[in-house]
Protein backbone atom coordinates (compact mmCIF):
# COMPACT_ATOMS: atom_id res chain seq x y z
CA UNK A 1 0.00 0.00 0.00
CA UNK A 2 1.37 3.43 -0.92
CA UNK A 3 2.23 6.03 1.71
CA UNK A 4 -0.65 8.19 0.52
CA UNK A 5 -3.16 5.35 0.81
CA UNK A 6 -1.85 4.50 4.29
CA UNK A 7 -2.18 8.12 5.38
CA UNK A 8 -5.74 8.35 4.03
CA UNK A 9 -6.75 5.09 5.68
CA UNK A 10 -5.31 6.06 9.09
CA UNK A 11 -6.75 9.56 8.96
CA UNK A 12 -10.18 8.26 7.93
CA UNK A 13 -10.17 5.81 10.86
CA UNK A 14 -9.69 8.59 13.39
CA UNK A 15 -11.54 11.47 11.68
CA UNK A 16 -15.12 10.75 10.54
CA UNK A 17 -15.54 14.18 8.94
CA UNK A 18 -12.36 13.67 6.88
CA UNK A 19 -13.54 10.22 5.84
CA UNK A 20 -16.94 11.47 4.64
CA UNK A 21 -15.46 14.49 2.85
CA UNK A 22 -12.80 12.34 1.21
CA UNK A 23 -15.37 9.86 -0.09
CA UNK A 24 -17.55 12.61 -1.56
CA UNK A 25 -14.56 14.37 -3.12
CA UNK A 26 -13.22 11.14 -4.58
CA UNK A 27 -16.60 10.26 -6.07
CA UNK A 28 -16.85 13.69 -7.70
CA UNK A 29 -13.32 13.39 -9.06
CA UNK A 30 -14.11 9.95 -10.43
CA UNK A 31 -17.18 11.24 -12.28
CA UNK A 32 -15.07 13.86 -14.04
CA UNK A 33 -12.46 11.26 -14.99
CA UNK A 34 -15.13 8.94 -16.39
CA UNK A 35 -16.57 11.78 -18.48
CA UNK A 36 -13.15 12.76 -19.83
CA UNK A 37 -12.33 9.14 -20.66
CA UNK A 38 -15.63 8.73 -22.52
CA UNK A 39 -14.91 11.90 -24.53
CA UNK A 40 -11.39 10.76 -25.37
CA UNK A 41 -12.62 7.26 -26.33
CA UNK A 42 -15.06 8.93 -28.73
CA UNK A 43 -12.13 10.81 -30.26
CA UNK A 44 -13.64 14.19 -29.39
CA UNK A 45 -12.04 17.36 -28.07
CA UNK A 46 -13.57 19.54 -25.39
CA UNK A 47 -14.35 22.07 -28.14
CA UNK A 48 -16.29 19.48 -30.13
CA UNK A 49 -18.33 18.38 -27.11
CA UNK A 50 -18.99 22.03 -26.27
CA UNK A 51 -20.34 22.61 -29.78
CA UNK A 52 -22.64 19.60 -29.46
CA UNK A 53 -23.92 20.88 -26.12
CA UNK A 54 -24.11 24.47 -27.37
CA UNK A 55 -21.81 25.74 -24.66
CA UNK A 56 -18.19 26.83 -24.26
CA UNK A 57 -15.05 24.72 -23.92
CA UNK A 58 -14.54 26.19 -20.43
CA UNK A 59 -17.88 24.68 -19.36
CA UNK A 60 -16.77 21.24 -20.53
CA UNK A 61 -13.45 21.64 -18.71
CA UNK A 62 -15.31 22.62 -15.54
CA UNK A 63 -17.57 19.56 -15.84
CA UNK A 64 -14.59 17.23 -16.28
CA UNK A 65 -12.48 18.80 -13.53
CA UNK A 66 -15.08 19.86 -10.97
CA UNK A 67 -17.95 17.40 -11.34
CA UNK A 68 -19.19 18.07 -7.80
CA UNK A 69 -21.82 20.55 -9.01
CA UNK A 70 -23.05 19.12 -12.29
CA UNK A 71 -26.68 18.26 -12.89
CA UNK A 72 -27.75 14.78 -13.85
CA UNK A 73 -29.44 16.19 -16.94
CA UNK A 74 -26.10 17.72 -17.99
CA UNK A 75 -24.31 14.40 -17.53
CA UNK A 76 -27.01 12.73 -19.63
CA UNK A 77 -26.57 15.32 -22.42
CA UNK A 78 -22.78 14.95 -22.18
CA UNK A 79 -23.10 11.17 -22.52
CA UNK A 80 -25.29 11.58 -25.60
CA UNK A 81 -22.79 14.04 -27.10
CA UNK A 82 -19.93 11.52 -26.81
CA UNK A 83 -22.05 8.58 -28.00
CA UNK A 84 -22.30 6.91 -24.61
CA UNK A 85 -25.23 5.81 -22.49
CA UNK A 86 -25.66 6.92 -18.90
CA UNK A 87 -26.10 4.16 -16.34
CA UNK A 88 -26.52 4.83 -12.64
CA UNK A 89 -25.85 2.24 -9.97
CA UNK A 90 -26.31 2.68 -6.26
CA UNK A 91 -24.09 0.57 -4.05
CA UNK A 92 -23.75 0.21 -0.34
CA UNK A 93 -20.67 2.28 0.50
CA UNK A 94 -20.35 0.90 4.02
CA UNK A 95 -19.73 -2.68 2.90
CA UNK A 96 -22.57 -3.97 5.06
Is 52 in contact with 60 (CB distance < 8 Å)?
Answer: no
Backbone angles phi, psi at 31, to 5 degrees: -60, -45
Predicted pLDDT of residue 28:
66
Is residue 20 included in any domain, yes or no? yes
Predicted pLDDT of residue 95:
53
Predicted pLDDT of residue 12:
77
Q: Is 94 left (phi over 0), alpha (psi -120 to 50) or beta?
A: alpha
* Structural domain containing residue 50: 3-81
Predicted pLDDT of residue 49:
98
CA–CA gap between residue 23 and residue 88 (Å, rounded): 18
Predicted pLDDT of residue 93:
66
CA–CA gap between residue 74 and residue 89 (Å, rounded): 17
Is residue 30 included in any domain, yes or no? yes
Those residues of the chain that have pLDDT short of 70 are 4, 28, 93-96
Domains held by the chain: number: 1
Amino acid sequence: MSDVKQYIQKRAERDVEFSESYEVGYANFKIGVILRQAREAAGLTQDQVAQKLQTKKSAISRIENHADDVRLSTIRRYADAVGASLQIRLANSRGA
